[in-house]
Structure 1
Amino acid sequence: MSWPRYESEQLYWEPDSSYPVSRRQLLRHKGPYFGAVAPLIANRQVLLSSGLLAIADEAVVELARFDVEVGQMVAPFSSILLRSEAASSSQIENLTASPAAIIRAELGLKETVNSSLIISNQRAMSAAVAASASLSLDSLLEIHRVLLEKFDPVNAGRLRDVPVWIGGDPYGPHKAQYVAPEASKVSELLDDLLAFCQRDDLPALVLVAISHAQLESIHPFTDGNGRTGRALVQVLLNRLGVTNSVMVPVSAGLLKNTAAYFGALDEYRAGNPEPIVEVFARASLLAVSNGRVLARQLSSVRDSWNQILGVRSDAGANRLLDQLLASPVINRLRAKELLSTTEANAQLAIDKLVEVGILTQQGSGQRNRVWQAEAVLTALDDFALNLRR
């Protein structure tokens, strides 16, 4: 049995007269158009080539191995990788911000729209992993709510009740590259998808890739479908026991070749699931490779700090070092929180790290002072740059 393709049906579009465009332009979008008809997949047999299954199995082994490797490290790599996954998933949607900008926004300093969206994506990713034990429609809606509640409170955590499409223009679906299934069918399609997600007869990465592609194609929300779909990837990897300690930045691997990723989604809708499985397998292997490089770089930074500092292991400055790997931009209040100490003692620890060159102060004022661990930011910038090459 071959994998079912998406069919189409003719629908009718009545343009919204409130759009600030000419009547003539609106009328160009009036009339019949074709929208997707998604197949039900809960009990479908999945037939893939033996070579592809071997690559998918290799990727799962490497994901699990990396999870163990990083989970055993003393440094807080879980939060580093969470930020990397959220930033990469957002960048696929052309939402970009530097690591320093994201961390500054976490501190409530100089928050941009993009950095704020990425932080919301981090929270959604965390909500995703928390929901992995009980994957349901409610948990999927909660992920979406966390993602968009600050930016679109009306639609956050709600299934769409309007048509949505990819490409074209916002005035109507006639020029779209892809028009998602009718809103009235979304609930049934999600119930079917969630049943598919519960299957235990498929290789882990096959289940992950197809589940993601099906959610992307249903497009159940007015916005945030891609980021929610990539959060689902993390839910399933955790639920299937592939990852337990950290969130492997699979989106970082997808970001390496977004054309292949989007092309594979098109192929999936045409009835060929092999490309999306291969894209996820290769993205996973790449994410592990890049993640290992980042882990080695940050471990090297930490070792160099040990040689530089030369203070008692229980001193505030030394205790702050591990935290700087995950939070390389801090202010005094953040240091106080990380060390569970007084502001005065937090400032003493910061001053010591400035004295030995581990931290540098940004700006010259006394109010709202911020310090950066430049070595960590350089490693994170290199990691982000490598993803775009």
Structure 2
Amino acid sequence: MFIEDYRAGAYETQTGFKSFIPSPINSSWEWRNTRINTLLEKANMELGSLNAYAELIPNIDIYIRMHIHVEANKSSKIEGTKTTIEEDMLPLMEVDPEKRDDVQEVQNYIAALQYGVERITKDGFPVSSRLIREIHRCLMNGVRGEFKTPGEFRLSQNWIGGSMPSKASYVPPAHIHIPQLMSDLEQFIHNDSIDVPMLVKAALVHYQFESIHPFLDGNGRTGRILIPLMLLHEGLLKKPCFYISEYFDLHRTEYYDALNRVRTHNDLLGWLLFFLEASVSTAEEARKKFSNAVAFVGETSRIARQLSGKTDNLMRVLDVFFEKPVQTAIQLASTLELSTQTVNRALNQLIQENLIEEKTGNARNRVFVCKGYLDIFQA
């Protein structure tokens, strides 16, 4: 089927509103627009460079963890959370009570994404309906959607925008269609008899998943988690270092418009071009951030080693900031199994050298940030 000839689906009349049933996607796909070829070539080249760079960096997992924090914050922000990355990294009880639910949602996103990565890389588990449900259960654990059947496809109607389906901006298919639509989606993911580039497949899967909206809540976040998992499972990524939600957040209006135009104008081409441009930019930015982070860690460590006195504990404290650049003294003492006095002595020395800074201005319950390092990933 040609991308340009795609017909997105049909509307089904229900009581007082119409819901949208997306067309199946388990098919071979072609296109006439040569812009797709150009973007695909560039995206694959950038992903190849990112892969090569990631394999050369010692301790790459430290930097990947920072990428995951940013991904979780940006993907959750698209759904309405309002926390900063610094707040997301604090212990929950240190966060303003009004923001704790948001922080918990972001932390759940990190846990769900890491769970998916481990299922694929360690267990060899495929991207499937079962894995999608497991990720969703992890995502919704103990947060605002915890009573909306986490890990189970919905058995009632949902909608996007508006107070009721008749006023909604989009009404997904009735729940009776979900088993068949999710089966088609899963078959497409694993259909080895069709020759579809993986980035094109990931774009189509994301659109289709968001159109099906199989859960009562958490569909956007689950759908965005699927993108790096698919690329990792198919070997397009060697390391889990590609996270596209930051681009989607920066271009949120275009992101939603591109998805909606497939349903309203059959514009699958427009969505695919947007997704490929996002992929090029995401891979480029990831490589730049890794490069800048490596340079920052090297220079900061060099300065710390030249300080007077014993530097062993100093370097240990600094290394924890490179894993998570927002810390409290109690966190550091627990992580490193050092006394709070020893940790505070190291922190004060790092502050004097402007390698970290204290954010609260308080005498107690202080919060320390390695801002230069954090800014690299927030740029």
The answer (yes or no) to whether the contact 1:62–1:285 under 8 Å persists in 2 is: yes
Q: Distance in 2 between matches of 1:188 and 1:346?
A: 57
The answer (yes or no) to whether the contact 1:104–1:329 under 8 Å persists in 2 is: yes
Cα gap change, 1:235 to 1:118, in 2 (>3 Å)? same
Partner of 1:37: 21
The answer (yes or no) to whether the contact 1:3–1:45 under 8 Å persists in 2 is: no
* Match status 1:274 vs 2:259: no
- Count residues in correspondence: 359
Q: Distance in 2 between matches of 1:244 and 1:86?
A: 20
Aligned match of 1:58 in 23, 42, 45? 42
Partner of 1:7: 10
Q: Deviations over 1:105-142 (max 9, x none)?
A: 4x642152322222211112212223333222221111
The answer (yes or no) to whether the contact 2:24–2:184 under 8 Å persists in 1 is: yes
Unaligned runs of 5+ in 1: 13-31, 384-389
* Match status 1:205 vs 2:207: no
Partner of 1:297: 292
Cα gap change, 1:134 to 1:346, in 2 (>3 Å)? farther
The answer (yes or no) to whether the contact 1:329–1:371 under 8 Å persists in 2 is: yes
Cα gap change, 1:287 to 1:108, in 2 (>3 Å)? farther
Q: Distance in 2 between matches of 1:314 and 1:280?
A: 47
The answer (yes or no) to whether the contact 2:50–2:284 under 8 Å persists in 1 is: no
Mean CA deviation greater in 217-226 or 263-272: 263-272
User: Aligned with 1:134: secondary structure?
Assistant: coil
User: Aligned with 2:94: secondary structure?
Assistant: coil
* Match status 1:140 vs 2:132: yes
The answer (yes or no) to whether the contact 1:254–1:280 under 8 Å persists in 2 is: no
Partner of 1:257: 251
Partner of 1:245: 239
Shift of 1:363: 4.1
Residue type of the partner of 2:9? Y
Shift of 1:77: 0.7
Partner of 1:225: 219
The answer (yes or no) to whether the contact 1:67–1:246 under 8 Å persists in 2 is: no
Cα gap change, 1:188 to 1:144, in 2 (>3 Å)? same
Shift of 1:88: 1.7
Partner of 1:115: 103
Partner of 2:371: 374
Q: Distance in 1 between matches of 2:203 and 2:337?
A: 42
User: Aligned with 2:237: secondary structure?
Assistant: coil
* Match status 1:287 vs 2:282: yes
Pairwise CA RMSD of aligned residues?
Answer: 2.5
Shift of 1:338: 4.3
Partner of 1:25: none
Q: TM-score, normalised by structure 2?
A: 0.86
Q: Distance in 2 between matches of 1:225 and 1:191?
A: 17
Q: TM-score, normalised by structure 1?
A: 0.84
Unaligned runs of 5+ in 2: none
Partner of 1:125: 113
Mean CA deviation greater in 291-300 or 173-182: 291-300
Cα gap change, 1:290 to 1:96, in 2 (>3 Å)? farther
Shift of 1:208: 0.2
Q: Distance in 2 between matches of 1:271 and 1:199?
A: 24
Shift of 1:189: 1.0
Q: Percent identity of the aligned residues?
A: 23
Q: Distance in 2 between matches of 1:198 and 1:344?
A: 55
Q: Distance in 1 between matches of 2:171 and 2:111?
A: 29
